[in-house]
Amino acid sequence: MDQRQPLVSALYLFGDSTIDPGNNNFLATIVKSNFPPYGRDFPYGQPTGRFTNGRLITDQLSELLGLPDLLPASLDPEFQGQKLLTGASFGSAASGYADSTSIPLIYSNEGPEISSDLLYLQNVLPLERQVKNFRLYKVRLAKQFGHETANRTISQALFAVSGGSNDFANNYFINPLTRKKYTIKQFQDLLLKSLTVFIQNVYNEGATTVAIVGLPPFGCLPSQITLHNILENKCVEEFNEVASSFNSKIKALLKKIRPNFPGALIAYFDIYDKFFDIIKSPNKYGFEETRKGCCGTGLLETSIACNPRTLTCPDPSKYVFWDSFHPTTKCYYYISSRGMRTVTETIRMLNIQ
């Protein structure tokens, strides 16, 4: 716990595996990481459900804000008592802005179709459900500490959402049903609509400071290179262009809708440029391997494919990626350091207390 006066009352996170500290542990889903080698560099080598070798950006941000240095999962039974006052992550790995991102497919003779029988394989929390869980949390907070404390805590908190990569990498570009229904522009607009609804929902619940995290260059993820550009063995430029254009649309959207949320600060948090620079100039940051993750071959393994029987690299600090989809803790630090400091300095100037 940072001994400084916290810059915000609490931190509330929504989104996907980049900010899920273990909510999926408590869901009937195979999309988990609460087993070794995940958590290898976490205190005591404990696998917590974080999709990396140590701490997430959420933990680093929480510490910078003067809050506990480990942000809890909202579904964790231990998230109670005084812990309710400093926030939690409501995120769920494998989720996205679009509800369809968390629905698996099966393939029959007639082609791909949604499988209700296989829903338990994914069964993760889409963004709308995460907000519903926040509302339930708000009731708990008010019941234990009173409505005045609950309202003050929420109004002085930082809300953030990080998502979108799964919508493209694990939905649009592999799901023929989605591509048949939407052009890439239409799908981007669908996601922006969902993002707008999210902002409206948390604003209605009392949020006054909201950060929207942009997409990374997901075409450089090892899994995407393996699946879509194995012959050239380099970043999928089409995917990176989609990420870049979507980020531009987020910024344009926020500029347009800010007047609709009087009294609120809605900020964009860029991670694309720093992430891309790390991949293109790894030596500047002390990395040696950018093409594959530390776990297994590093080309496709993630979640249950990265398990206690999977060999890992000797030194994750040399790797940009922990598995084929998620960065190492060290990479998360570099991706987020400048942006997080911008966020904290902005909050200081606004004197949010």
Which active-site residues does the annotation give?
17, 323, 326
Distance between CA atoms of residues 306 and 34, nearest Å: 11
Peptide bond into 68 cis (omega under 30): no
Distance between CA atoms of residues 253 and 212, nearest Å: 11
* In 34-118, alpha helices (H): 57-64
Distance between CA atoms of residues 169 and 179, nearest Å: 12
Return the DSSP state at 300.
S
Report strand pairing: 111-114 vs 158-162.
unpaired
Distance between CA atoms of residues 20 and 14, nearest Å: 8
AA identity, residue 78: E
Three-class DSSP category at 211: strand
Q: Residues for the chain: how many in total?
A: 353
- φ and ψ at 95, to 5 degrees? -85, 175
CA angle, 256 then 261 then 266, to 5°: 70
Long-range contacts for 52-55 (Cβ within 8 Å, ≥24 apart)? 52/322, 52/326, 52/327, 52/328, 52/329, 52/332, 53/294, 53/316, 53/322, 53/328, 53/329, 54/328, 54/329, 55/329, 55/332
Closest CA to 327 of 245, 271, 260, 254: 271
Distance between CA atoms of residues 288 and 179, nearest Å: 36
Distance between CA atoms of residues 353 and 343, nearest Å: 15
